[in-house]
Amino acid sequence: MAQNNVSTLLEAINWCFSSGNPPLAALGILCIATCLQQLDSQSHKDIISQLHRPPGELFQAYLNRVTLYIINDNFYSSSYAGIEVILMTGKIYMNLGLLKMNWVLTHRAIIHAQLLHFHRPHQTSPDEIASHMSMRHESWFFICERDLYASLLLGLPYAANWKTISPTARGLPGTLGYFQYEMMRLSSRIIDRNQMGLETSILDTQDITHDMVSVANTLPSELWDPPNALLVGRVDRAGYMELLAVEFWYFQAKVLLHQPLMIQSLEDHKLLEHRESCLSACRDTLRIYYLMRSDSMSVFNMVKLVDYQAFICSAILLLGLLGYGSVQPLLFPPTIKQAPDWETVQSTLDILRKASRITNNSIALQAVQGLETLSLLVENGRAGACPTQTGLTTAHSVRITVPGSGVITLSPGALMTKPISTSSEPTNVHPASIFHLSSYTSPNPMIPIAPTPSSQQVPEVNSLLSADLGGDISMMDLDWSNLISNNLDDDWAWLADANAANLL
C-alpha cells in the first residue's frame, strides 16, 4: 500500500474497495470490522446510534461474508491477497482471545503460502525481482512466528517449516529480528518436547533452559528494560511495541517450559527449582503485561489474549502464596499485603478491572472475578483462620471461571478449615497447602469463545469458607468444560452492552 501512496486507514480502506480485487475488498471490510470491534458503548455512543444495526451484529455479518466468499473459496484464498485476508481474520480472533480459531486459520494460510513458494529462501523463478523475494521472505517470517506462538500457547503441533526462513530475514545476533527467530526455534523445541510426551523430562527441560539463557544473552542488556530503551532512543516507537511483544513471548515460554515440572514438584520436591523458575517467569510476564496495558497509546488494548495470560500467571503466583509445591513450612509476614507476589497480583487486578470497564472485555471481567475469588481464599488460607459452622458436613467447593477456557473447582482441606484463633497475636507459621490436579492433560488450555461471566462466585466462597470438611488434603480439580466453541452467536467477548436496543 505504501507504493500506492496509502498512509492512513481511511485511504487504505478506499484503496481496497476501489481495487476491483475481491480479496483486497475483503481486507477493507475486515478493517471496518476491526473498527467496530473497538467501539465502546460509552465513549462512542454517538457513533453507535448512527449505525443501522448493533455493532456486534455488523461485526459478525462482515466476518461471515469474508469467510464465505473469500476464505472458503480456494481460488481467492490461494492468492497473495487471500493469504492476507486469512491472516488478518486470524489476528481478529487472536485479539478476541479465540486462539484456537487463529491457530486453524494460520495453518490454512501456511498451506496456501507453501503452494505459492513463500518458504523458498531463493528465487522461485528467474523473473522474480529482489523486492518481491524480500517481501515473500518477510511474509513467511511473520507466518512462522504467528504459528509457533499460537501452537506453543495451545500445546498443539506447529505447521510452518520455520527452518526454511532465509538467513537474510533472520537478522544478525543482537538485533530484535534475530531474537524473534530464536524464539521460534525455542518454541519449537518446547512444542516438540510436549508432543513427544516428555513434559516432565528433567534433562530435556534443563537443556532447553540452558538454550533459553543463551538466547536471552544475544539481546543487548539495555533492551531488557523497554521503557528506558525507548527513553534513551535505543528503539523507536514501533520497535518498543515489538520488544514488549517478543519479551512477553519469551517469559510465557519459560512459564510453559517449567509448569509441568512445577506440578510434579508436589510429589517430588527435588523439582523445587522448576517451581521457582515458573514463579519467576510469571512475575516477569506480569511485569511486561503491566507495560503493555499502561502504554499511553493503548496499542495492546485490542489484544485480549494478554488478559488471559495475566490471569494464568496471577493464579500461579496466588497458589505459590499458599505454598503450592513448597517442601518447607512458610514463614509469612505479619500481613499478606507485605508479600511482593501479592502486590504484583493486586496490581494486575487493578489493570484487569480497568480493562473490563473501558473495553467491555469479558475475558478481563472473568479474570477479575476468578482472581478476586482466589485472592479471598489466599487471604483466609494464609491467615490460617477460616470460619466454620458446627454440624455442617456437606462438602462445599468454589468454581472459578478460567477466562474462555473452563472452570477450576477448589475444595478445602485441613488448612482452609482451621478454626479462627481467639488469640490477638498473628500466626506466622503454617504448613504448606497441598493441591492435587486431577485429569491433567496440558498446561496450555485452549481458548474458545468466552462464556457469560458468573456473578455467583463470592457467595460460593463464603459457603466454602464456612464448611468444616475435616479433610487432610486441599484439592484443586481442573474441569475444562468449554474447550471448543465455534458458535459465534453466543458471546463475542467484547462490547457486550453495545448491542442493547436503547443505544440505537
**Residues in Cβ contact with 107 at an 8 Å cutoff, skipping those fewer than 6 apart:** 147, 159
Could you identify the residue written with the cell 472459578? 400
**What is the rounded CA–CA span in Å between residue 420 and residue 360?**
39
The pLDDT tens digits of the residues spanning 398-448 come to 677 777 666 776 655 444 444 433 333 433 333 333 333 333 333 333 333
- Nearest 5°: the CA angle 162, 30, 128 is 45
Whether residue 203 is predicted with pLDDT greater than 90 in this model: the reply is yes
The pLDDT tens digits of the residues spanning 246-278 come to 999 999 999 999 998 888 877 777 788 888 999
Do residues 40 and 154 both lie within one domain? yes
Q: Return the H-helix or E-strand segment holding 231.
A: helix 226-231
The pLDDT tens digits of the residues spanning 71-89 come to 999 999 999 999 999 999 9
339 falls within a domain:
yes
Do residues 113 and 195 both lie within one domain? no
Q: What does DSSP assign to residue 302?
A: G
Do residues 292 and 311 both lie within one domain? no
Q: Could you give the angle at which helices 22-37 and 9-17 cross, rounded to 10 degrees?
A: 140
**What is the rounded CA–CA span in Å between residue 468 and residue 378?**
17
Name the residue among 343, 330, 347, 295 with its Cα closest to residue 432: 330
Q: Tell me what percent of the residues of the chain surpass a pLDDT of 90.
A: 42
The pLDDT, as a whole number, for residue 354 is: 86
126 falls within a domain:
no
C-alpha cell at 194: 510436549
CB 312 within 8 A of CB 254: no
CB 456 within 8 A of CB 20: no
The pLDDT tens digits of the residues spanning 346-394 come to 999 999 988 887 656 778 888 888 898 888 887 776 555 444 333 333 3
Do residues 345 and 221 both lie within one domain? no
**Beta-bridge partner residues of 399:** 409
Could you identify the residue written with the cell 516477569? 284
Do residues 473 and 372 both lie within one domain? yes
pTM for the model: 0.78
Do residues 49 and 181 both lie within one domain? no
The pLDDT, as a whole number, for residue 30 is: 95
365 falls within a domain:
yes
Is the sign of the CA dihedral 300, 301, 305, 308 positive or negative?
Answer: positive
Do residues 351 and 393 both lie within one domain? yes
Do residues 287 and 378 both lie within one domain? no
Do residues 314 and 449 both lie within one domain? yes
Task: Provide the number of structural domains found in the chain.
Answer: 3
39 falls within a domain:
yes
Do residues 153 and 182 both lie within one domain? no
Alpha helices in 295-361 (DSSP H): 305-321, 340-358
Q: Which of 303, 338, 368 is the last residue of a domain?
A: 303
Tell me which amino acid residue 220 is. Answer: P
C-alpha cell at 149: 506462538
Q: Which domain holds residue 16?
A: 1-121+131-162
**What is the rounded CA–CA span in Å between residue 419 and residue 466?**
10
The residue count of the chain comes to: 504
The pLDDT tens digits of the residues spanning 276-302 come to 999 999 999 999 999 998 876 666 776
Whether residue 57 is predicted with pLDDT greater than 80 in this model: the reply is yes
Do residues 366 and 282 both lie within one domain? no
Q: Which residue has the higher pLDDT, 304 or 228?
A: 228
CB 12 within 8 A of CB 28: yes
Do residues 318 and 296 both lie within one domain? no
